[in-house]
Amino acid sequence: MANDSSSSSTCAVRLTDEQRSGLAYIHVEHLSRRFSDKPDSLGLANLSFDIEEGKVTAIIGESGSGKTTLLRSIYGLLKPDAGEIRVRGWKLPNPEDKLIPGHEAMRLVSQHFDDLNTYANVWDNVASRLSNTNLEEKQHKTEVALQNLNILHLAKQRVVDLSGGERQRVAIARALVSGPEVLLMDEPFNQVDASFRDHLQKDIRKIVDEMGLTIILVSHDPSEVLAMADALLVLKDGQLMGNGNPKVLYNHPPNAYTASLLAKSNVLTATDVHTVLSLSPTAGEEVFIHPEWIEVEAATAGQFTIEAILFKGFFEELVLRYEQLTLRAINKFPGNYALGQRVNVRVERFVRCRS
C-alpha cells in the first residue's frame, strides 16, 4: 500500500495540468535556464524559492547574474531547461503553449518602456489597455490608475515630451489599469533621480498595501530596494546566494558575496581576523564586518593608517591600511581625521559564516 501511495503522489506532481496544494503563491523549483549549449553559460542554475502574495520581492545582483532572465522566466516569456514555476499551485505555461506569451494575471514593465506609444498622450496610453465595452468604467479605471501614480495632471501630454521618471510612471499605470495580480518591473529606478525615486517607491508601496498587489522587481543597486522590499533574492552567476528578509540578510549575510553586495562589507581572511579581532577562526570560516560596525580612534602609534577619505555628505568613508590589509570604516563626524593619520580600530560586531 505504501508503495502505491508514493507512486500515485509522484504521478500527481508530474502532471502539468494538476494543481499542487500547499505551495506558496509563486513557487520556483529547481529552475535552470541556459543561454546557449555551452556548459559554462548557464543563465540560471537550479534555483528554488517561494514568493509571497501581496509582498514586494526584489531580485538583486551584479550585471550578468541572471536577474532579467529570472524575471522573464517568472512571467512566462522563457521556457525553463529544467525545473518548474507554479502560480497558485498551477504550472506556468511555456511560451509556445500560448498565442500571447506571459501569464494572464501578470504585467511586465521593461526598463525601456517598450510598449508605450511615445506620440500618443498619457491618457490614451493607459486607457488603450481597456476594452470599449463599458466606456464609463474605462474612464474611471484610467483616472484611478493615473491618480495612483500621481500623473493625472499629465493626462493630455504626449509621452515623447515627458522625462524618464514620468515615462516610468506612465508605464506602471498602463500595466496596473487592467488590474493584474502581479507586477514585474525590470530596473524600475534606472532612469530616475534620487528624489523622484523616493517618491515613486512610496507610491508603489502604497499601491501594494492598499491593493494587495504582488511586485517582483529587478535592481542592480541594493540601496534602491532595501527600504521597500519585503524579501530579497540575491543572484550571482545564475545561482541563488541569498533569500529572505532584507534586514536579516544585511545583518546576517550568508556569504561574502551577499555581504559585499548589500553593505560593501569587509571580508576577512584567517590572518586578517587574527590581526583585527585577535581571534582564531575555525577552518573554512569567513568573518564579515560592515563599515559602520567599526569605530576608529586616533592614536599616535596606531596600527592602521588612513589611506583615503571619501566624502559621502553627512559622513565619510575611511579607507584604512595595515600592511596588506585594507578596511573600510564609517566616520560619522567628517573632518576629524586626516590622510596619513595613524589610528586604531574597535569592532563593535561581526558575523561569522562558513565559506
Which of 179, 200, 169 minimizes the C-alpha distance to 129? 179
Is it true that domain 52-80+100-255 has CATH number 3.40.50.300?
A: yes
Q: Is 135 helix (H, G, I), strand (E, B) or coil?
A: helix
Q: For the chain (length 355 residues), average pLDDT per consecutive 10?
A: 40 59 96 73 88 97 93 95 96 89 93 90 97 95 96 97 92 95 93 81 91 94 91 96 96 95 92 83 83 96 97 95 95 95 95 80
Q: Where along the chain do its domains lie?
A: 52-80+100-255, 264-354
Place of cell 541594493: 222
Looking at domain 264-354, which of 2.20.28.120, 3.30.1360.40, 2.40.50.140, 3.40.190.10 is its CATH number?
2.40.50.140
Residue type, 239: Q
Cα of first residue to Cα of last residue in the chain, in angstroms, is: 44
Residue 125 and residue 170 in contact, taking contact as beta carbons nearer than 8 Å = yes
> Residue 38: what residue type?
K
Q: Tell me, what's the pLDDT at 9?
A: 38
Quote the CA–CA distance of 119 and 101 in Å, as a whole number: 26
Beta strand 82-87 pairing with 26-34: antiparallel
Contacts of 151 by beta carbon, 8 Å cutoff, 6+ apart:
122, 166, 169, 170, 173
Domains 52-80+100-255 and 264-354 share a fold: no
Angle subtended by helix axes 135-148 and 164-176, to nearest 10: 140
Predicted TM-score of the model (pTM): 0.89
How far is the C-alpha of 328 from the C-alpha of 160, rounded, in Å?
44
